[in-house]
Amino acid sequence: MLVVRQVCLHFRTLSADRDFWYEPDFKFAQLMSMENEYPLDESEFLDILFADNNLVDSLGRRKKAWAFGSLEGLRSVIVAVPLFRRHARIIQLNIRTHFASTEDSEHRHSSTDIAIELLSTCFHIVKLTIKAAYRVNLTKIASSFPFLEILDCGGLSQFDGSLQELDRLQRLRMRVSLREGVRHWLPLQSTGTLTELNLNYGPFRLDTDCFSEMAAFINLKSLEIAPLLPTVCDILIHSPIKLDTFKVRIDPLRAPIDKVLDMLRADCFCNLKQVAFVDWSDEFPLDATQLAAERFWSLALDSFTSLLSSVEKVLLNLPVCLEYCAYFSRMRNLKLLDWDASAECFPAGLDSMDSEEEHKEKVEKALESAFSEFTEKPRFSVTLSRSQW
């Protein structure tokens, strides 16, 4: 029996040092077998797992990044791992949304808000990622994590509150699909520190008040924006920032082409290295709308390839057109072109009787011709199908 105990202790010691415990995306629920006839719930499983004091001590001291898929798992870690509060730096929440019951429906707390409240005792969180939450309260985030440097909220339906309290945020990503707006929520005390901003409001949300506040962030290096509005164009035309990366979703049937062309001439793009253009049409591509979209992109890409010679990487998610290919012969610093063409619009300049492979071959041949005189030819790929950017 003594030998067995010693072997088990040695095994537990070795197990606590395994790298998988400390990976940022690791969730304890991954270890739970779903094949048992009577499976444990996550809290019961963690009670058993955390009975190993050696593992608890090792996790508390070494693990900086934690991912949680349930409130039960979060509560178990807070209770069983005392050093979690002191050493946790990076938190990822991917918690299925439910609302705590309350008589006042207007003040219900989502599961994500409850998780943030539980985490407020962790004083050194610098990065927070929230995935697929129905709603979050930004004020609660700002007050709970005053040292936050990176906030990534992807796939939200709605939010309330404000990030005004945060004064050292460096990267902010917000993707929201709701129709109703919340004004003046941006972290305006972080105007000197924010270098990366990603605002994606979905096709139904046009919050010009929010976009107008972008002008305050004078140290931006990376900007991803959707949708592209005249307000955004005006800000970039007059902005002193110098962007390295610019990613934008555009509805070619609604975007003002004159504003877009003026924007591409702006000083903020003079050192640009990476660009992504996404066609964000929300109408069925009839012949008339397709021709209008083709004209828009022809003018935009003609201007872009003429003006922005510093660009090294181009990502396109828009209908392919053989006419566009020749424009890229001007971009002598180009190292990579990734073109994911829309399957919803028939590629202009191609034979409707051709197969998809034949379409692709013609586009690749046109790009080969465009790059024929380059000293170092850029890598390129062409996909004739819609994908998410």
Q: pLDDT tens, position by position, for the chain (389 residues)?
A: 233 333 344 445 546 678 888 887 787 877 775 445 445 677 788 888 888 889 999 999 999 999 998 899 999 999 999 999 999 999 999 887 654 444 444 445 688 999 999 999 998 999 999 987 888 999 999 999 999 999 999 878 788 899 999 999 999 999 887 655 577 899 999 999 999 999 988 655 555 667 788 899 999 999 999 889 898 999 999 999 999 999 999 989 888 999 999 999 999 999 999 999 999 876 555 566 778 888 999 999 999 999 998 999 999 998 888 889 999 999 999 999 999 986 444 455 555 555 677 778 889 999 999 999 999 999 999 987 644 33
3-state secondary structure of 249: strand
Query: Which residue, chain included where needed, has tokens 């979209």?
Result: 293
Give the alpha-carbon dihedral of 237, 186, 315, 344, to 10 degrees: -100
| Kind plus residue range of the DSSP H or E element containing 340 | strand 336-340
In this prediction the pTM is 0.85
What tokens appear for 230 in the block?
Answer: 């005249």
**Nearby residues of 186 by Cβ (< 8 Å), 6 or more positions away:** 162, 163, 164, 172, 210, 213, 214, 216
CA 173 – CA 83 distance, rounded (Å): 29
Q: What is the pLDDT of residue 9?
A: 47
Q: What is the pLDDT of residue 107?
A: 42
CA 130 – CA 3 distance, rounded (Å): 46
The runs of H, that is alpha helices, within the chain are: 2-16, 42-49, 53-62, 71-80, 84-87, 111-119, 138-144, 208-212, 230-238, 257-264, 287-307, 322-327, 356-370
Q: What is the pLDDT of residue 127?
A: 98
**Nearby residues of 183 by Cβ (< 8 Å), 6 or more positions away:** 207, 209, 210
CA 301 – CA 321 distance, rounded (Å): 11
Helices vs. strands in the chain: H and E counts, helices first: 13, 14
- φ/ψ of residue 355, rounded to 5: -80, 170
Q: Work out the angle at residue 203's Cα, subtended by the Cα atoms of residues 218 and 282, and round it to the nearest 5 degrees.
A: 130
**Nearby residues of 37 by Cβ (< 8 Å), 6 or more positions away:** none
Q: In what order do the strands lie in the sheet with 274-279?
A: 65-68, 90-93, 127-131, 150-156, 171-176, 196-200, 222-226, 245-250, 274-279, 313-317, 336-340, 379-383
Residue 338: strand pairing partners: 315, 381
CA 199 – CA 159 distance, rounded (Å): 13
Residue 377, Ramachandran bin (φ over 0: left; ψ between -120 and 50: alpha; else beta): beta
CA 324 – CA 370 distance, rounded (Å): 10
**Nearby residues of 227 by Cβ (< 8 Å), 6 or more positions away:** 201, 203, 206, 249, 250, 251, 255, 280
